[in-house]
Structure 1
């Protein structure tokens, strides 16, 4: 009987010790990663508005039926789409429309289809080159034109960017004279969808 009591006592003690050590068991876990916000997403559709100025030079023949040696105000809009085929290279297609006006000068309008190629320098900064062809209309006369230039764009929120751009412009039917007959500088705000 003593052996049986001793066996039951040892079994009860073993069960109590096992329960106590189960509560102190340390289970290794993997730590949760710290959330790091991704950089600005340059890919996708965007639209925006811009303002600036255009200076028409003194080269003969003039630029797109506009008055030589004249500065125009510019207000316009742009819609485009960007792709990043290989990081950090950005490729995009953009359509722009601008209204030009000046003192005692007939207003005109310009529409361009552009290609953009750039590099995402930092998560929030893009440097790019732009080139396109289009049409400039002044006094009910349209002229085929081109533009080449570049710009820089900065992300200010997770969907809004600010852009500065400078392009040289010329006539498609150059007919002699300077290659670039006008220069346009714009600053714009864009929303990325």
Structure 2
């Protein structure tokens, strides 16, 4: 046997082993475990949280809003939920806290996935405005939102509500908020 044939054989064997090792590098990565396990999350039951956003009045003008929310949801038939919720928001305009809204809403929602709830709201309450002697008017509220689970007991949500105040000069307003809710 010639030395050149032996060296060629060693070279081919070396290339084959190197190729096998390189192929190992191309294997798909193992799935990474989720940072947060939301598989045990449930929108059923009591929740409470904080919200922030803004409000806009049909006649012009706007206000910032910061508030609290509390409510409860109940599954009536998978994936349909019914709920009731109370909201209280302080309205910030003219350099300070100059009003509030207090609402009670009925909700109907659909689970788009185990971690996502899409819902519609309808209800009523009061809006108080400190400007012009401090008036309080009744309001109808309607709208909806989306809530997304982020841990096994916390969710974030975005909501938009229309407000109709039949006894006010500027009868229509809109309120958009985002919030963090804790589920118990």
Shorter-normalised TM range: 0.7 to 0.9
- Partner residue in 1 for 2:113: 122
User: Which secondary structure state, in structure 2, belongs to the residue aligned with residue 42 of structure 1?
Assistant: coil
Mapped partners of 1:106, 1:115: distance in 2: 27
Instruction: Give the length in aligned residue pairs.
Output: 145
Match 1:155 to one of 149, 153, 158: 149
**Structure 1: how far apart are the matches of 2:166 and 2:122?**
13
1:172: Cα distance to partner?
4.1
What SS does the aligned partner of 2:151 have?
coil
1:113 corresponds to which residue? 104
- Distance in 2 (CA, whole Å) between partners of 1:160 and 1:144 is 32
| Structure 1: runs of 5+ lacking an equivalent | 1-35, 59-68
Q: Distance in 1 between matches of 2:166 and 2:40?
A: 40
In 2: Cα distance, 1:121 partner to 1:112 partner: 26
Q: Distance in 2 between matches of 1:149 and 1:188?
A: 16
Q: Which has the larger radius of gyration?
A: 1
TM-superposed CA distance for 1:174, in Å, is: 7.2
**Residue 133 (structure 1) aligned with residue 127 (structure 2):** no
Aligned residue in 2 for 1:29? none
**In the TM superposition, what are the counterparts of 1:74-85 in structure 2 within 5 Å?**
74-85=65-76
Match of 1:98?
A: 89
TM-score (structure 2 length as normaliser): 0.73
Please provide the CA RMSD for this pair: 2.1
Q: Deviations over 1:30-64 (max 9, x none)?
A: xxxxxx98442110000000000001112xxxxxx
Measure, in 1, the Cα distance between the counterparts of 2:111 and 2:53. Answer: 24
TM-score, with normalisation over the residues of structure 1? 0.70
